[in-house]
Amino acid sequence: MTFAQDHKDLILTLRILRKDPLAAAGSIIAAVFLAVALAVTLFGNGVAPYDPVAINLSLASQPPSLQHLFGTDNLGRDILSRAIVATPVDAEIAFAIVGISSLFGLVSGSLSAFLGGYVDEVFMRITDLFLAFPSLVLAIAVAVALGPGVTNVILANLIVWWPIYARLSRAGCLSLKQTQYVEAARIAGLSKFSILLEHILPNNISPILVYGTLDVGNAILYASVLSYLGLGAQPPQSEWGRMVFDGQIYLTSAWWISIIPGLIILGVALGFNLLGDALRDVFDPRYRK
């Protein structure tokens, strides 16, 4: 593909996104989320307006104000600062879950469908076994067995996350196997490995990318649930789900301690869902016409 064609495709993609205000909103939310996570990763807690772990009981449970935009918690810590430094934790969990699951699912699902026969049958029964259990319940059970911690939250979710991508990849591969260019490559004498690597996997990435973007929001929700149950990040490390848990007993007297982190979780999840919907339109050939 030439540089001119790449430039033309990029302009067309931007035009599609610009025509949809919801896509623009999702892109902005996702960009802010990534920018904050990167800034905290590079520069540490210095990007926050206040020290996120400094306790000041004289400022305990202060409502949102110009001095503390999101208010303070029961220990006088600035909620905005704690939400900012928690962003890379949630980003690490979400992108690790979606990234590893999508990569493993893409390769394993495509390979299973391409080989077919006994290999495909065994692989499908394995995915059926994992999908038979409610994913959140299974993730909680695995997290309890592994113990609390960010790494264990990622591992617990990976166990229940990859079969969905494997199924999606397998369905795409079964469709691609019937295309003319794959038949032409087979007639030309290319090996099965070359056909899979050069023709199947590259063309199977688009649906995985779209679904993965939608799934980032779900991964953040799952991670927040596990952290809410005390299985994720541990104090003094800040995490959105844990912040919701810490503030739940103050709902009637200081609602902002719990509600604001919950709204942040909801907003980021919604933003990635909107962005995923936009990418689905971008990769749809009928819409691009």
Structure tokens at 14: 């931007």
The predicted pLDDT at position 10 comes to 62
> What is the model's pLDDT at position 270?
92
Report the distance separating Cα 266 and Cα 217, nearest Å. 8
* pTM: predicted TM-score of the whole model, two decimal places: 0.84
Give the pLDDT confidence score for residue 1 in this predicted structure: 45
Residue 279: count other Cβ atoms within 10 Å of its Cβ. 23
In terms of C-beta distances under 8 Å and separation of at least 24 residues, what long-range contacts does 171-177 make, across chains too? Answer: 171/109, 171/113, 172/109, 172/110, 172/203, 172/204, 172/207, 172/208, 173/109, 173/110, 173/112, 173/113, 173/114, 173/200, 173/204, 174/113, 176/200, 176/203, 176/204, 177/113, 177/114
How many C-beta atoms lie closer than 10 Å to residue 99's C-beta? Answer: 13
CATH of domain 20-45+68-288: 1.10.3720.10
Cα 58 from Cα 75, distance rounded (Å): 9
Predicted pLDDT at 13: 66
CA–CA distance, 143 with 153 (Å, rounded to integer): 6
| C-alpha span between 147 and 144 (Å, rounded) | 5
- On whether the CB atoms of residues 94 and 219 are closer than 8 A, the answer is yes
What residues form DSSP beta bridges with 133? none
pLDDT given for residue 184 in this prediction: 77
Going 210 to 211 to 217 to 220, the CA torsion angle's sign is negative
**93 and 154 Cβ atoms separated by less than 8 Å:** yes
Domain segments of the chain as ranges? 20-45+68-288
- Residues with pLDDT less than 70, the chain: 1-14, 16-17, 192, 283-289
Give the integer Cα–Cα distance in Å for 232 and 247.
16
